[in-house]
Each structure stands twice: as C-alpha cells, then as structure tokens.
Structure 1
Amino acid sequence: MASSRNEAPVTVACLQMEPVFGETAHNVAASIAMIEQAAAKGANLLVLPELCNTGYVFASREEAFSLAEVIPQGASTQAWIDCAARLNIYLVAGITERENESLYNSAVIIGPEGLIGRYRKVHLWGDEALFFEPGNLGFPVFKTRIGTLGCQICYDCWFPESFRMAALQGADIVCVPTNWVPIPGQDPGREAMANILVMAASHTNSLYIAAADRVGIERDQPFIGQSLITSYTGWPVAGPASSKNPEIVLATINLADAKRHRNWNDFNQVLKDRRPDVYTLP
C-alpha cells in the first residue's frame, strides 16, 4: 500500500446551477450559496459553469461589454476571492472578462490566498466568435497545495490536444466550466456526447476531469446539465447530474492516482507511448 505521505486526497464538487441572464449580483450570490453548501459537505475544490456570473446568450457585443469585468478587480472575482479565503477552498469559475477593448470567455482559478490565475477559452463556439477573442494564454496548468490543476471551457473538450497539453504539463485534474447545448443526432438513451468526450479524455490521458454544466433555457437556448466528475480511468466517480435541475455533484478522489496509475501494464504508459515523430502529415 502506498505511504500516506504520497497521497493527494481532495473532495471535488461541480456546482450545476441556472444563471439568470444579466443578473450578475444575483448569480454570484446564488453561486456562493451553492459553494457554501458544497464546502459544508467537505468540498475543497469547486467548479462553477461557464459564464456563470452573467449568463451566456448575448444579443450584441455592446451588451457583452456592459456585463464584462476586469480580472481580478471586478465584483464577481472579488466576491469569489473573499468566499475562497473564508472557506479555505479552491474555486474555478466561468466569467465574462474584459481587458481594454477585448472580451474573453474566461475562467478564474482562485485559492484561499487569492487569485491563482485565469484561463481564456481557446476554441470559440457558434456566436461566441461575434463577442469574444480566442484565448491567447494557451493551456496553462496551475500548481496548488492540493495538486496541479488544468482548465478548459466547454468546446475545448472537443479537441484532444487540449487535454493532452494539460497532461504533458503535469496536470492531475482538469476543471471544465461549461455550457453544453443539445447536439444533433443525440441518442436519448445514451450518455450525452459531452460526457463521452470527457470520459475518453480522462482515460486516454490518465486525468481526473470535473465538468460543471448549467441547466435551464436562456433566450430560447436550452442547456443540458449532466455535470460529472471522471476518474483517471475514464469512468465517472460522480454524476452525470440531472439534465434539468440545479445539483451539486461531489466526489472524494486521490489526485496522486492520476500519475501513479499511468502505467497500464509492464509495457504501456499512455503519455510515454506517444510517437510525435510520426504525428505529422506527409
């Protein structure tokens, strides 16, 4: 049995909520209420949905600018920083970010001591391209006292390179604020395609993944919920959550296992078996 000094236990919570478009103060207060509930159950790493402070379906770039905030000075980030300090937790939350005349679909990574960093969505989906600039920070990982965290947002999950970049940089878990929408051709008797992609990425990179989705209908756009936490094996350890209702998805995991069990047998290790020398087009 592994020595206790080689363990990295963490209790992860995905906070599936229903933001109200444009009601930033209400949304942040609702998120903090859910954070407090999850922390009372022992959660010390919590993930909130994409753009959870403002809502998602903007009518114009001007409207998006009017709701966007500077990081970390904005009211939403400051409220989450205060909450993380008070509860001694780590938090990843989706936020509409403004930097000068640019807008980003971003996430803040916050710890008990304040802002750790930010992630900007690399792969924009649909009308997002009308409002946001593509992320320009790459796929950073964040070393914390509880482990090394990666971050992605929603459509980033459709690109295997995103998770592979996190794994190659030593991430133990990737936190995914998301606003998944219905996918054409989805079999109602099967897991959501987003769930399948997250499970596959966990398995093929030996990573934990915590994906926090939203629910509800906003300006005629439905969202599918089904937040989940996957093990490094690829199988869910919590969730998928409801497709319609707010919910806290909670799991206690050992982040050390993400690296400890990357050796699948005496011969194969998923990252070391890569062949970059042949991954180029002729």
Structure 2
Amino acid sequence: MTPSDAAQAQEHPVSPVRIAVVQSAPRAGLHHRAANSERALDLAERAVRDGATLVVLPELASTGYSFRDRAEAYAHAEDVPGGETVRRWEDFARRHGVHLVGGLAEREGVRLFDTAVLVGPDGYVGRYRKAHLWNREKLWFTPGDEGFPVFETPIGRIGLLICWDIWFPEVPRLLAQQGADIICSVNNWVWTPPPIFDEAGRCMAAYLTMTAAHVNNVFIAAANRVGTDRDARFLGCSLIAGTNGWPIGGVAGSEDETVLTADVDLVSARSAPIWNPLNDLVRDRRTDLYDPLLGYRLGQAFPR
C-alpha cells in the first residue's frame, strides 16, 4: 500500500454514525406518561429524519423525575424488556434501522431501578441499572449492582451511564477499559446551589462529561432534560463530546427542548490516545501503584 493509499484508508470512516441527543421535558404523573413518550419519540423522529443512526434520550424519559413517594414511583415503573416503553422503543428502532438509548423506571418484583435501556434494529440489546443514586432517588430506587456493561453492536461498542454516575471517574474509566467506543449518558441534571453556569453557559456536568471523554479517549453522548417537574428544575446542557473532550456542535441551552447531532467515525475511539512521542494515556497509567479499590483503602485512615 502506498502512502497515499494509507492516507485514503484512514480518511474513510470504518463505522460512520450520526449521533443525536434529545433534550426533552417529561413530567411526573401517570396522566403525563403517554405525552412524555410521544414527545420523546417525536424529537427522536426529527433526529432520524436528519440522518441520526444512534439516538439518546434523557433519564426517566417516559415518566418524569419528581415522584411524590415510592408508591407513585412503583406505579410508573415497568418491566424490562417486556414493558410498554421498551416495546415502543424497539418498534421505533426496527422501523428506522437505528440504535436508541433511553431511561425509564424499571420494576422487578417489588424492587425499583433507575434504568437505561439500549435497543437496536433487531430489538432489545441490554440495560444498565443506575449504581449511584442522587438525593431522594434513594428513597424508592435500589442501586444497581450488575456492574457497568459494554454492549457490542454493529455500529460499535456502547456503554451506558446515568446522571450522577459521571461524578465518579471510575465509571467512564471502567467502561473505556472494557472497550467502549461511546458512552451514552442519560441524565436528569438538576439545578444545585449557584453558580450554576459559567460565562460560556456551561454547567459543571458538561465539564465533567468533557473531562471524562478527554481522559478516556472515548465519545460521550449526554442527553439531559429541561423544564421544571414539580419541585425540581433541570439544567439542559446536553452535549456530544469527542474523544479529545471538546463538544462536537456545541452545548445545548438550559431552557429549550432540542436535538443536537454529530457525525463521527465511532470506532476511531479505538486508536491509541498518543499525544506526543513520549506520552500515551494507556501506557502511562501506574497500575502498579493503584490498589484494587483505586485508592479507597488509603482513605480509610482519614474518614470524613
């Protein structure tokens, strides 16, 4: 192969994907559930018409976020994969030949989970149950204990995380170490004590997403929601971060429902993250100095 042939081969995308993140505004209450699902899929349909082949919806996209109590959360929850919402997402993915990730409340017996689901043209692919629960979520959801799965698909390897997970750097690192080409991050990022946004209009969650993409050489598609749901207000700031960390196509605003898209070669995340002749993210890791719990044993001497 000549140098020009090699250059052409590198320029030709191996797995071209148009990613879309949907920023919607679902509301809690059983009487809102049908409208929540319709609106999310209407925005997903818009993305597909624009050529999207991987669509990411927010956390709890079909139910809204602010349950009054555990009984209401239980009433909103569904089986996975047998429930109505997953079936509708499967039908959408089959009809359009796309992959779709979305969040919902899952019921297994009497246990409830905050769950992200991946479906594709051939139906249900897999789920991830949120491991790190935020605030009152702990009053109705059980934390997931099935680890952090990465799913092999025809377009690439897809990992899932949910909202508060991004504050724990171990989560994107574990997904990247398992070979994820992209992490689909479904979110309900809420307003916290100010300052909420910087001068560029970005929130801390956006910067955490960018940082995780940068230090792990992985795409991250983060779909958040907007609006107010009972007593909670949400940040927006959805984004698609490239493997270098920078947003592809900007960061969404804090008020409006919208769809962001980005064209990427998904498996380009598998290229070695070598930034100069002497530094490589993977080779430079000092695993000989990291204890099996990533340093947590050291912290036991100084409890907070």
TM-score, normalization by structure 2: 0.90
Map of 1:189 onto structure 2 = 199
Q: State the alpha-carbon separation in 1 of the partners of residues 54 and 147 from structure 2.
A: 22
CA distance in 2, matches of 1:272, 1:142: 25
Deviation string, structure 1 residues 147-187 (Cα, Å, up to 9, x no partner)? 00010000000011000001100001000110011232425
Match of 1:110 among 119, 125, 128: 119
Match of 1:139 among 136, 148, 171: 148
What does residue 45 of structure 1 align with? 54
Equivalences for 1:106-255 in 2 at 5 Å? 106-186=115-195, 187-190=197-200, 191-255=202-266
Q: Give yes or no for contact 1:154–1:179 (8 Å, CA) kept in 2.
A: yes
2:25 alignment partner in structure 1? 18
Unpaired runs of 5+ residues, structure 2, are 1-6, 299-304
8 Å Cα contact 1:208/1:230 also seen in 2: yes
Instruction: State how far apart, in whole Å, the 2-side matches of 1:208 and 1:139 are.
Output: 16
**Helix, strand or coil at the partner of 1:248:** strand
Q: Which amino acid aligns with 1:163?
A: P
Larger Cα Rg: Structure 1 or Structure 2? 2
SS at match of 1:3: helix
Match of 1:271 in 2: 282
Root-mean-square deviation over aligned CA pairs: 1.4
- The residue aligned with 1:3 is 9
> What percentage of residue pairs aligned between the two structures are identical?
44
Question: Displacement of 1:258 after TM fit?
Answer: 1.2
Provide the rounded CA distance (Å) in 2 between the counterparts of 1:188 and 1:198. 15
- Unpaired runs of 5+ residues, structure 1, are none
* Number of residues of Structure 1 aligned to a counterpart in Structure 2: 282
1:61 and 1:165 mapped to 2: Cα distance? 31
Aligned residue among 78, 84, 89 for 1:80 = 89
Deviation at 1:238, TM superposition (A): 2.3
Q: Which amino acid aligns with 2:259?
A: I
Quote the Cα distance in structure 2 between the aligned partners of 1:61 and 1:21: 13
Residue 182 of structure 1 aligns to a residue whose secondary structure is coil
Quote the Cα distance in structure 2 between the aligned partners of 1:204 and 1:184.
27
Cα distance, 1:273 vs structure 2 = 1.7
What CA deviation, in whole Å up to 9, does each residue of 1:3-51 have, x standing for no partner?
2676221000000001122222111111111111100100000000000
- Alpha-carbon displacement from aligned partner over 1:173-213 (angstroms, at most 9, x marks no partner): 00011001123242542520001100100000001000000
Structure 1 length normalisation: TM-score? 0.96
8 A contact 1:225–1:241 mirrored in 2: yes
Residue 97 of structure 2 aligns to which amino acid in structure 1?
N
